[in-house]
Amino acid sequence: MSDADQIDLLSRALDQTATLVASVRSEHLDAPTPCRDWTVRQLLEHVCSDPRNFITMTQGGDVDWSAQVPLPDDPGRAFREDADELLDAVSEAPGTISIQLPEFTVHSWDLAQALGGTEELDDELAEASLRIMTPMLKPEMRGGAFDPEIDVADDASAYERLAAFTGRRPLL
């Protein structure tokens, strides 16, 4: 896949995530998500810190992925601004995209599940994320963020397969 194709996929994943982040209302914040032990608020805190962390990583800096980052006052605006800055940064270092695409794609599914629907998600993002994650996420690397893979039907959608691969179960 060319650098331009990777940047296009990441841009679409960021747009998809930005739309979902902007749609969260205060009444959603305590709802569960498919991320084990995370509410929508905790997922948003994580997702809203991701672009800034990836910018730091792309620029060769060290990232403390465990740092607790409070939810911005306007998560939708903050995510969009940082996502745009991330796209600028990866255009200079496209080799860093491989873990970013699955991160935003999986968490957009998590958030869509928590908000009540996944029908608007971009299947091509899930397929590309599976191609990236499958050789990287070995059984011995599971635990923490990824539970054991779950079996799905042969006719499962791309997002159902991606969620199952990451050990997530649908809420719906």
pLDDT tens figures, 41-71: 999 999 999 999 999 999 889 998 888 889 9
Structural domain count of the chain: 1
Nearest CA among 114, 69, 84 for reference residue 7: 84
pTM to 2 decimal places: 0.91
In-domain check, residue 38: yes
For residue 170, tell me if it sits in a domain: no
Its domain, for residue 32, covers: 3-165
pLDDT in tens, 2-36: 888 899 999 999 999 999 999 999 999 999 999 87
As a whole number of angstroms, the distance between CA 94 and CA 58 comes to 9
pLDDT score recorded for residue 36: 79
Residue 98 has what pLDDT? 80
Please report whether residue 172 resides in a domain.
no
CATH number of the domain at 131, please.
1.20.120
The single-letter DSSP state of residue 172 is -
119 is a domain residue: yes
For the chain, what is the mean pLDDT? 89
Q: Is 84 helix (H, G, I), strand (E, B) or coil?
A: helix
Cα 135–chain centre separation: 18
